[in-house]
Amino acid sequence: MAEESFAFAANSLREADRDRYLATLVLPAEARPGITALMAFNADVAGIRDRVSGPQPGEIRLQWWNDALTGEGHGAVRQNPIADALLDTIEKYGLPVGTLQRLIGARRFDLYDDPMPDLQSFEGYAGETASTLLQLSAMILNGGEPVEEGDAAGHLGVAQAMIGHIRSIGYVSSKGRIMLPWSLLEANGVRESELFAGQESEGLHAALSQVAELAGEHLAKAKAAIAKTPVKLRPAFAIYPLLERQLADWQQSASNPFAPPSDRADWRKIAAISWWALRQR
């Protein structure tokens, strides 16, 4: 079943998280299935809120994943192809289950409508989610051995979360949620009612520009850290060129922050990722 499970995970990731899927295309063939399974697991967990009717069933689904990781009911768990692929990956590379459990724990925040309190909380959330995926991907590329990749995963994960949320603020706020640091928005005079109604303001533009500037700083630090990372580990960070372009595109067309974000064709993304990967060798 393992081969079929990994194929299912790849298809699931392609549908649920296109950019992360495209970034796996430049991975070494031997590491690609494991990293793809890891990313598919994250996509499933990240999408729980959109598939359930409220926090309680969402909590049940998160608990299912937590139990799956700790070995409870593995016979039934293995019937889920993403779980099957993930468990095989954990066994093959010795991935730390506790780290994945913290990712699940961080995703509990997604189930509720509480605003993201402040920048420190946001960076912690990004670290337990986006940065964790990058760190574990590097570990898989290292054959399961722990890696010292500097701050590449930390900075790139935070940048990815920031860029993703400034681009999706229209969709997220339409659902009555605030995922960007509320303290930063509030300091610029942004009101919840205006945000949820999709009303622009100078304060909102200022706040989003500040987040974009912070994201750019994290990208720059990630770029420097990746340059110091062993060559064989660098493909773990292949999402970098997409984030760099998404941030630049947003900064050029940020006149209406609530509009759906512009996106580039897959072939352009693949070309950018491939060119970036070639330059890392």
Predicted pLDDT at 253: 82
Last residue of a domain, one of 111, 131, 166: 111
Same domain assignment for residues 155 and 219: yes
Residue range 47-74, pLDDT digits in tens:
999 999 999 999 999 999 999 998 765 5
pTM: predicted TM-score of the whole model, two decimal places: 0.95
Same domain assignment for residues 100 and 117: no
Same domain assignment for residues 169 and 104: no
Average pLDDT, the chain: 94
Domain span at 1: 1-111
Looking at per-residue confidence, does 141 or 150 come out higher? 141
Looking at per-residue confidence, does 240 or 1 come out higher? 240
Same domain assignment for residues 98 and 4: yes
Last residue of a domain, one of 111, 136, 152: 111
Predicted pLDDT at 199: 93
Same domain assignment for residues 246 and 225: yes
Question: What's the chain look like in SS3?
Answer: CHHHHHHHHHHHHHHHCHHHHHHHCCCCCCCHHHHHHHHHHHHHHHCHHHHCCCHHHHHHHHHHHHHHHHCCCHHHHCCCHHHHHHHHHHHHHCCCHHHHHHHHHHHHHHHCCCCCCCHHHHHHHHHHHHHHHHHHHHHHHCCCCCCCCCCHHHHHHHHHHHHHHHHCHHHHHHCCCCCCCHHHHHHCCCCHHHHHCCCCCHHHHHHHHHHHHHHHHHHHHHHHHHHCCCHHHHHHHCCHHHHHHHHHHHHHCCCCCCCCCCCCCHHHHHHHHHHHHHHCC
Same domain assignment for residues 128 and 264: yes
Q: Determine the average pLDDT of the residues in 180-208.
A: 96
Predicted pLDDT at 77: 83
Same domain assignment for residues 139 and 266: yes
Predicted pLDDT at 262: 86
Residue range 239-254, pLDDT digits in tens:
999 999 999 999 988 6
* pLDDT of 1 higher than 80: no
Find the length of the chain. Answer: 281
**Residue 14 and residue 31 in contact, taking contact as beta carbons nearer than 8 Å:** no
Same domain assignment for residues 255 and 119: yes
Same domain assignment for residues 4 and 81: yes
Last residue of a domain, one of 76, 94, 111: 111
Predicted pLDDT at 7: 97
| Phi then psi dihedrals of residue 19, to 5 deg | -65, -45
The DSSP code for 130 is I
List the structure tokens of 43. 């996509």
* pLDDT of 208 higher than 90: yes
Predicted pLDDT at 37: 98
Which of 56, 58, 259 lies closest to 173, judged by CA?
A: 259
* pLDDT of 75 higher than 80: no
Predicted pLDDT at 181: 98
Task: Supply the CATH number for residue 161's domain.
Answer: 1.10.600.10
Q: Determine the average pLDDT of the residues in 97-101.
A: 97
Using CA atoms, how far apart are residues 144 and 137, in angstroms rounded to an integer? 9
Maximum Cα interatomic distance, the chain, rounded to a whole number of Å: 55
Predicted pLDDT at 149: 63
Q: Determine the average pLDDT of the residues in 212-225.
A: 97
- Of all residues in the chain, the percent with pLDDT exceeding 90 is 90
CA 85 to each of CA 14, 81, 91, 175: distance values in angstroms, whole numbers, following the listed order = 15, 6, 10, 32
Same domain assignment for residues 223 and 271: yes
Same domain assignment for residues 162 and 250: yes
Q: Determine the average pLDDT of the residues in 108-134.
A: 97
Residue range 8-33, pLDDT digits in tens:
999 999 999 999 999 999 999 999 99
Using CA atoms, how far apart are residues 50 and 58, in angstroms rounded to an integer? 9
Residue range 150-192, pLDDT digits in tens:
699 999 999 999 999 999 999 999 999 999 999 999 999 999 9
Same domain assignment for residues 87 and 133: no
Based on the structure, what is the number of domains in the chain? 2
Residue range 78-92, pLDDT digits in tens:
889 999 999 999 999
Predicted pLDDT at 76: 79
Q: Determine the average pLDDT of the residues in 258-268.
A: 92
